[in-house]
A and B are shown apart, each in its own frame.
Chain A
Amino acid sequence: MKLHGKPGPRPRRRASSLVTAGVAAAVALVIAGCSSSGSSGSSSGSSTSTAPITIGISVSLSGDFSGDGLATKQGYETWAAFQNAHGGILGRQVKLTFLSDGSSPTQVITNYQKLITVNHVDFVMGPYSTLLTKPASSIANRYGYVMLEGIGGGPSVFSQGLHNVFDVSASAAYQLITFAKWLVATQQPEPIAYASMTDPFLQPELDGARSYLTAHGFKSVVYKLYPLETTDFTPIASAIAASKAPVVVLGTMPPDGYAFVQDLIQDKFSPKVLIEASGPDQGSAFIKAVGASNTGGIMVPNTWYPGSTYYQNTQMVQLYLKMFGGTANNISADVAEAFSAGQVLTQAIDHIKSTSNSALESYLHSGATFSSVQGPVKFQADGENGAATPFVFQWQKGTLQDVLPIGVGTTKPIVTVKPAWGANG
């Protein structure tokens, strides 16, 4: 002790501080390591872990998207149940964590931040709608997470320049393209009335069809946009009725889709062709809202239908009915769109054998083709599904039938002239 002199207080504190700092650094490294392997978007993942693979999703269980939000949640739940019944992913069970966003773009940001930084989920998947997917994908990108989604295909999602967002469904601008091509191929140019909600998915959907049809000589005689909060559609329906346009194309959500049918019936105006972006795809809810005898001939674009023979569709339908009841025709397309996102995630993880988000992102950009209940999926550079083939469905005698594109799947002959209201055609 004397050789080294009396250890003064300062050197002892310094030594003590160094030890403490060393221990703290070691602890921090261990914690960081644990945290990284468990949750970080840039983690390398572990194929040997037996812990469940956790997936966080924000869903709209209240607010304007509550109907679709619930269907979206059911779609994810069906996929997770299906996957878990088949051994999970990489031998690990799938565990979903849902947070409700109230259809709010602000809340969806908070939810994904919480899922990533508090819940430390392994992956995140998309919410309902373009409106919510855009901010959600931006947050996921900030934390290095991939966002696979099936219900956010508006142009604004893909124009962000992000490389982490992948839409397994057909994007907005192409949703009505099959219908537009059929119209051009089978009918002489006729006046068309358009109306749409000012929604980042619906309006591009309508505009995509309008551009194509206008270029092929179909004149636009009514073009009305309305805000999300609109509850009285009578003036727009009156304008459409007054135009007597034989073709009516509406960019609707379910509530306004129902209301437009009701208002057009009240106006005693039955167009020859009527297609709505959303609403007629809601199965029994649509029938109850507009009356079964008024559904005949109404068309709706979609990327899925219950009788499709695409990959695992039969199993999905059976499992959904077992879990949630109802009938196959009443299953919302949102269910299949959410399920598809899960299918692609499964195939990609099985291929990369890792829960690393960066490896997943690279693989999804590799040009690989995946299978889904909606058909093939192959991502373009911006995340759109370049292999998607949108269908067109039509209500015929109380059943929603797949009618376009002709020759794909089990299409039924299309009713070219919509039966009059009440005719149940």
Chain B
Amino acid sequence: MLVLQAIIDGVLVGGFYALMAGGLTLVFGVMDIVNFAQGILVVLGAYLSYALYAHLNIDPFVGLLITVPVMFVIGIAIYWSMIKPIKRDRVIMSLLTMFAVGTVVEGILDYIFTSNLVAIHTSYVNSSFKLGSLVFPSIYLYAFAMSVVLLGGVYYLLYRTRFGRSLRASMQNPTAARLVGINTDWVSAYTLGIGVGLAAAGGMVFGLTNSFDAASSYDLISRLLAIVIFGGFGSLSGALIASVLMLVIQDVVAVTWSATWGQTTFYIVLVLVLLIRPQGLLGRKAVRAQ
């Protein structure tokens, strides 16, 4: 029963990790950018939700109506002000740029909120319901449901809309996309905006389930990168599967053996998968070879 509980925990927690990793993989898929700032942007999302809740008493889920658009605009602003002007060595330079963005954001957050840990403590954070001996924490259920809705929305955007076709065309062949009249700059800007907007939603859940400070981003980014590599860079569904698998593996190993070995076991599985499928679970082979 403990193993079943660990699997349930892993699936539920994995859901909101997918939300955080979804933005990272989407941005890479379209822009060839490994967004090293994603971890701190998640924490920024958590702080925005915290500020709205602590100072204006706005429920974090309701607050997403404010934080997601704000973060979306921040993403677009980052693109036009810092990524677009890069003319040479775009992949490497943008990687360094995003690292710099992360460092600056961390400094600002440290200055405003200090390095004291904070947590978003709403009335439903501690609630849960039991099914037999199995426990379902409410916050993880809400977060999982929200992840499904948001990732489903992004999936719909990608595969059922004109923008999605433009975006996928930009992913597959940016040069050809430009030749057929797609404004790849705006597609990239919107993509970064969506990725950062997803970070706002993921950050909100992170803030509800963990106490955090700006430095929490370091543990986050390493996990998010592992998820994206495991799932395959650029694959949303890959990120979802990898998130759930990572958390399930870690949780099951933690209850049956040792939490210390839980993370190690996941990385062993990651290496084995990459030996067989270097592109990750659902990544496309040589997707960016052009």
Contact = CB atoms under 8 A, between A and B. Distances in A.
A242 interface: yes
A227 B259 contact: yes
Counting chain B CB atoms within 10 Å of each CB, the highest count among A265, A266, A289 belongs to A266
Interface in A11-40: none
Contacts of A224: 254, 258-259
A69 B117 CA distance: 12
Nearest to B263: A227
Given A227-B259, A291-B126, A238 B121 contact: no
Interface in A239-258: 239, 241-242, 254-255, 258
Given A288-B118, A421-B126, A235 B6 contact: yes
Contacts of B223: 231
Contacts of A290: 121
A232 interface: yes
Interface in A204-256: 224-227, 229-232, 234-236, 238-239, 241-242, 254-255
Contacts of A371: none
B119 A235 contact: no
A29 B167 CA distance: 72
B117 A254 contact: yes
A225 B259 contact: yes
Contacts of A364: none
B210 interface: yes
Chain B interface extent, by class: 35 or more
A324 to B, nearest CB: 11
Contact of A230 (B121, B125, B255, B259): B259
A405 interface: no
Nearest to B6: A235
A229 B267 CA distance: 14
Given A66-B115, A266-B137, A294-B126, A227 B260 contact: yes
A420 to B, nearest CB: 12
Nearest to A292: B121
Counting chain A CB atoms within 10 Å of each CB, the highest count among B13, B210, B259 belongs to B259
Contacts of A421: 126
Interface residues of A, number: 43
A268 B116 contact: no
B258 A66 contact: no
Given A232-B250, A234-B9, A268-B128, A225 B258 contact: yes
Contacts of A231: 210, 216, 219-220, 223
Given A234-B9, A242-B1, A242-B2, A226 B259 contact: yes
Nearest to A62: B215
A89 interface: no
B130 interface: yes
B254 A235 contact: yes
Interface in B198-224: 209-216, 218-220, 222-223
A238 B209 CA distance: 15
Contacts of B13: 232, 234
Interface in B1-54: 1-2, 5-6, 9-10, 13
A217 to B, nearest CB: 26
Given A63-B215, A231-B219, A238 B2 contact: yes
A266 B142 CA distance: 14
A268 B135 CA distance: 8
A285 interface: yes
A348 interface: no
B247 interface: yes
Q: Is the interface of B mostly helix, strand, loop or mixed?
A: helix
Interface in A353-382: none
Interface string A281-296: 0100100111100100
B57 interface: no
A70 interface: yes
B119 A258 contact: yes
B15 to A, nearest CB: 12
A31 to B, nearest CB: 39
B127 interface: yes
A265 B115 contact: no
A266 B247 contact: no
A229 B219 contact: yes
Given A70-B114, A70-B116, A235-B9, A288 B121 contact: yes
Contacts of B252: 235
A231 B223 CA distance: 10
Given A238-B9, A262-B125, A266-B126, A232 B117 contact: no
B115 A61 contact: yes
Nearest to B2: A242
A42 interface: no
A64 interface: yes
A83 interface: no
B85 to A, nearest CB: 29
A232 B247 contact: yes
Interface in B113-153: 114-119, 121, 125-128, 130, 133, 135, 137-139
A234 B121 contact: no
A67 interface: yes
A235 B116 contact: no
6 contacts: A61-B110, A66-B214, A259-B211, A282-B117, A285-B117, A289-B119
Interface of A: 61-64, 66-67, 69-70, 103, 198, 224-227, 229-232, 234-236, 238-239, 241-242, 254-255, 258-259, 262-263, 265-268, 282, 285, 288-291, 294, 421
Given A236-B254, A258-B211, 5 more contacts: A70-B116, A224-B254, A238-B6, A239-B254, A289-B211
The 10 closest A-B pairs by CB, nearest first: A66-B115, A226-B259, A235-B254, A235-B251, A266-B137, A289-B119, A265-B126, A266-B128, A234-B9, A258-B211
